[in-house]
Amino acid sequence: MYILRLLSAFFKVNVQMTLAYRTDTIVNMLINLMWLGWELLSLNIIFHNTTSLGGWSLGELIALLGVFRLVNMLVAGLIWPNTEKFNASVRDGSLDYTLLQPVNSLFQVSFSRMVIWRVWDLALGAVLIILGIRMSGGGATPANLVSFVFLTISGAMVIYSLWIVLIAATFWFIKFDNNVTILQALMDSGRYPATIYPGWLRLIVTFVVPIALATTVPMQALRGDLNGWQILLFLGVSAASFLVAWRVWKAGIKKYSGASS
């Protein structure tokens, strides 16, 4: 399929770029591991003082860290590098080249840069999730598992859609270099279940920058906390968010090319 071929072409280019900066890659991977160690140590300290955090067991929190790692993979592996490239391309005009290539512009802006080594966050996250489920007694039904997978993907979709709207804002507010920092600022809140946060923070991380949608909600599905209607609601929200992002992007491109309507 054309899309796959294109993705693999982008992949190859980014592998090349990673190889061009080999030592940097190794250092970054080590720092990544360090943060994993830090997260696990912090959980250790918490559970040194208690046996459950707001109804969440240690195993469940470890699995949550795994989901967080997956979301972080999206943010650090795709969103950050492509934001840099996008901002630069608007500034120096090379966005024009992107618009004139016979490939969907949104696709290009989303995937032309990939931090390749972040793929191992996929493996680490999966290990954490499996480990966490085992530790918490492994009482997950197949239905829970399936909804967990779907909600993880849809949570990532919501974050992605938010990102698109944030960078598309550059088309209207030219001096908007800090556009994605709000996403980064709130990332920290994804390490712990949003159910323990005070109401106002919970609102922010569910509706404004939906980190909670991407991390806590899938975990709730895994634990069986959600009923069918809620799951469908979340899936619907994620689909709607993508549609909104798509429309905003198209409108932004039209504005950029000076279309009158």
Partner 1 sequence: MDFFQSGRMVLESTSRLMINLPVYSCYNANRMTDAILVEKLSKTYQVPEREGGFGAAVGGFFHRKYTDVNAVQQVSFTIQPGEMVGFLGPNGAGKTTTLKMLSGLLHPTGGRAHVLGFTPWDRKREYLQTMTLVMGQRSRLSWDIPAADSFLLNQAIYRISDADYQRTLKELDDLLELSPILRKPVRNLSLGERMKCELAAGLLHRPKVLFLDEPTIGLDITAQARIRTFLEAYNRHTGATILLTSHYMADVTALCERVIIIHHGQLKYDGGLTDLSRRVAPFKLIAVTLGDPCPCDLSAYGTLLPGGDEDGKQLIQVSARDVAAITARMLAELPIHDLTIEDPPIEDVIEQAFQG
Partner 2 sequence: MLQIYRRLWQVNWAEQWQYRANLLMYLLYWLVSPVVYLAVWITVANSQGSVNGLTANDFVTYYLTLLIVVQLTSDITIHLLASKIQDGTLSGDLLRPIHPILTNILVNNIAFKALTFIGLIPVWLVLCALFHPNYSSVTGSSLLLAIPAILLGFSIGFLLGATLTCLAFWTTRVYAIGEFYTALVILFSGQFVPLQLMPPTIQRLAEFLPFQMFCYVPIEIILNQMPPEVMLRNYAVGVVWLVISMFLFKWVWREGVKRFSAVGA
Q: Point out which residues bind partner 2 (CB under 8 A).
A: 23-24, 27-28, 30-31, 34-35, 38, 41-42, 44-46, 48-50, 52-54, 178, 181-182, 185-186, 188-189, 191-192, 196-198, 201
Question: What is the C-alpha separation between 228 and 143, in angstroms, rounded?
Answer: 10
Question: What is the C-alpha separation between 208 and 63, in angstroms, rounded?
Answer: 24
Can residue 146 be called a binding residue for partner 1 (CB under 8 A)?
A: no
Can residue 1 be called a binding residue for partner 1 (CB under 8 A)?
A: no
Sequence-distant (≥ 6) Cβ neighbours of residue 233 within 8 angstroms: none
50 binds, among partner 2, partner 1, none (CB under 5 to 8 A by kind): partner 2
Can residue 259 be called a binding residue for partner 1 (CB under 8 A)?
A: yes
CA angle at 203 for the pair 124 and 232, rounded to the nearest 5° = 70
DSSP category for residue 104:
-
49 binds, among partner 2, partner 1, none (CB under 5 to 8 A by kind): partner 2
Smallest gap from residue 77 Cβ to partner 2 (A): 17
Are the C-beta atoms of residues 49 and 68 closer than 8 Å to each other?
no
CA dist 58 to 13, 63, 216, Å? Answer: 41, 9, 14
CA dist 258 to 75, 100, 167, Å? Answer: 31, 15, 18
Can residue 175 be called a binding residue for partner 1 (CB under 8 A)?
A: no
| Contacts of partner 1 in 94-123 (CB under 8 A) | 94, 96-97, 99-103
Binding mask 226-245 for partner 1 (x = CB under 8 A): --------------------
247 binds, among partner 2, partner 1, none (CB under 5 to 8 A by kind): none
| Site stretch for partner 1 (CB under 8 A), options 38-46, 151-159, 175-183, 250-258 | 250-258
**Tokens describing residue 141:** 């039904």
Question: What is the C-alpha separation between 69 and 250, in angstroms, rounded?
Answer: 31
Report which residue type is found at 94.
Answer: S
Smallest gap from residue 68 Cβ to partner 2 (A): 12
| Site stretch for partner 1 (CB under 8 A), options 92-100, 160-168, 182-190, 210-218 | 92-100
